[in-house]
Amino acid sequence: MDTQLNDTSNDPGDFAALVDDRPEDGVFQVSRRVYNDPAILEAEYKNIFEANWVFLAPEGLLKEPGDYVATHIGRQPVFVIRQKDGGIGGFINACSHRGAMLTACRAGTMTEIACPYHGWRFNTDGQCTGIRARRAGWPEDDFDQSRFDLKPLPRLESYRGLIFASLGADVAPLNEHLGPITAFLDLFCAPAPHELEVVAGASIHTVNCNWKVLHDNGPDPYHAATVHGNFAATIVHRDEISGNTGLKKTETGRLAGRVAAGMYAPGNGHTAFWADKETPEVYPVWAMKEQIQKSLPAGKAKWALERSRHVTVFPNLLVNELASTYIRTYRPLAIDRTEISSWCLAPVGEAADLRAARLRKFEDFFMPTGMSTPDDVAIFEMANQGNMAAAGHPNDMSRGMAAATTGPDGPALELGIDPEMSSDQFTHEITLQGVYRQWVKMMAGGNG
């Protein structure tokens, strides 16, 4: 297939030339430069991560006033903190004096924030409350300390307990940005609103790959049969020799491709895919069947109980609803290095047997020391190496381009969403097409 990619363009700003998007010819190709050129990452920090909504952390990590999580938006250190009045504040994690980070921990509690450098103090609202030897430096009586208040993040909003922020002030409201993804987030641990907690512990690991190699994998059910066939075989073997039934059993219908499934490009670069559950009774959510069927319309109840759901929110969030609710965020550390942080969300007050099934299945699949994620990580690193091959083909993401439905399909209507594209094929790549259309748009300076 001929390619019209302008891989060697000397114009560093010509990002659109890196994605060959021709629906009329059934072509969707992405230059490998997007994965291997450090200049691209610099532009991504600026035009994507530091320009529009990014996911920061689950609210459940901020239980008591002063609890904080320190993270990054692109290159910039930030923190979110539970304030005295119960609200959530988000600030640049750099002192207003000479820029020292206010905390070097990933999370903790600080009811008063004391800068470790010259000892300036701030409250959880970000107000500067104390300057060491203030009068020696600024003797005036009417000195206005508020000019040293911490810099708040220009935009900060939560949806269903997931905290997002934007360094760009001029962006759409969060729920507008999320669009049809909100319908999926509404279903997590349905019947919503259902109080969720973050289970103790976290999965934090680093991978030698470009962040998009990882991001491309979230909306890619196509790889499961190849990469996770060994997981499915192991689980089938385990369940056979032990005679596991009910919650103890793990479903393999999705990995083996035996069930109805589909995917969406909902718009704004987000993605979703789903698969019917072959054995819905092995999932902890099945215990809430009656409540869910009572509280949701039939179509949505079916989604909540009988379909696994997998979404990505551009550029840095993945939420999977399998036996457990898995949330993952990631940030580029370098062109070829990415840090992944993941947590498990679970309903407050869940019965012990349901909780155990949820957590053990989470560990089996999602930990970097489990039986699936290591295979994903190994593949990410191989894909990243392969993507150094600028002299090879561009990456092809055109599967299903012609066959996909514009607008919603049947299951989408049941869920009440209106995605840009729908497909009833699990092995299609319309999700990735949506991702790279948004990438081009944002890299060209559009907020999407």
CB 91, min distance to ligand FES, A:
13
Burial of 349 (0-12, 13-18, 19+ CB in 10 A): exposed
Please, which residue, 108 or 392, has the CB nearer to ligand FES?
108
Pairing assessment for the beta strands 162-166 and 112-114 based on DSSP bridges: unpaired
**What mask of x and - would describe binding to another protein in positions 14 to 53, judged by CB under 8 A?**
----------------------------------------
The amino acid sitting at 52 is: N
Does 117 interact with ligand FES (rule: CB under 6 A)? Answer: yes
Pick from 197, 228, 204: nearest CA to 340: 204
Quick one: which segment of 40-48, 67-75, 115-123, 271-279 binds ligand FES (CB under 6 A)?
115-123
Does 374 interact with another protein (rule: CB under 8 A)? Answer: yes
Does 386 interact with another protein (rule: CB under 8 A)? Answer: no
Does 105 interact with another protein (rule: CB under 8 A)? Answer: yes
Does 231 interact with another protein (rule: CB under 8 A)? Answer: yes
Candidates 376, 398, 426, 428; binder of Fe ion (CB under 5 A) is: 376
Instruction: Say if CB 358 and CB 323 are below 8 A apart.
Output: yes
Does 230 interact with another protein (rule: CB under 8 A)? Answer: yes
* Token pair of 434 as six digits: 């949506």
| CA atoms of 45 and 139, how far apart (whole Å) | 41
| CA atoms of 121 and 135, how far apart (whole Å) | 15
Candidates 18, 69, 153, 322; binder of another protein (CB under 8 A) is: 69
Instruction: Say if CB 175 and CB 182 are below 8 A apart.
Output: yes
**What mask of x and - would describe binding to Fe ion in positions 328 to 367, judged by CB under 5 A?**
----------------------------------------
Q: Taking CB under 6 A as the criterion, which residues in 83-102 touch ligand FES?
A: 95, 97-100
Instruction: Say if CB 365 and CB 231 are below 8 A apart.
Output: yes
3-state secondary structure of 271: strand
Q: What is the helix (H) or strand (E) element at residue 231, kind and residue range?
A: helix 229-242
Binding site for Fe ion (CB under 5 A): 376
Binding site for ligand FES (CB under 6 A): 95, 97-100, 115, 117-120
